[in-house]
Amino acid sequence: MSLVELSRHMHGYEAEIIRGRLEAAGIGAVCFDSGVNIVEGAGIALPARVMVLKEDLDEAKAILAEDVAL
């Protein structure tokens, strides 16, 4: 069971929203580095990453694609 990157976001709250959406659909997800860019415009450009289990990656992508299509 290994984690893989689903998406990257310059704002940690975007990653947290996606994590919550996946959790609501029954897919476990974690955010890495979501609190790094707390001070906007501080010159720190480390993206927040949403991570899922490798075996959940395709389903997670499909869920996010559904949301975009709505």
The CA-based dihedral angle spanning residues 70, 59, 56, 51, taken in that order and rounded to the nearest 10 degrees: -30
For the chain, first and last CA: distance in Å?
A: 32
Full residue range of the structural domain in which residue 48 is found: 3-69
Residue-wise over 28-40: b if at least 16 C-beta within 10 A, else e?
A: ebebbebeebeee
CA–CA gap between residue 18 and residue 64 (Å, rounded): 8
For the domain that residue 48 is a member of, what is the CATH number? 3.30.70.790
Number of domains in the chain: 1
Choose between 46 and 62: higher pLDDT.
Answer: 62
pTM: 0.81
Better-predicted residue by pLDDT, 54 or 38: 54
Q: Give residue-wise pLDDT tens across range 2-51.
A: 999 999 988 888 999 999 999 999 999 999 987 666 555 555 568 899 99
pLDDT score, position 3: 96
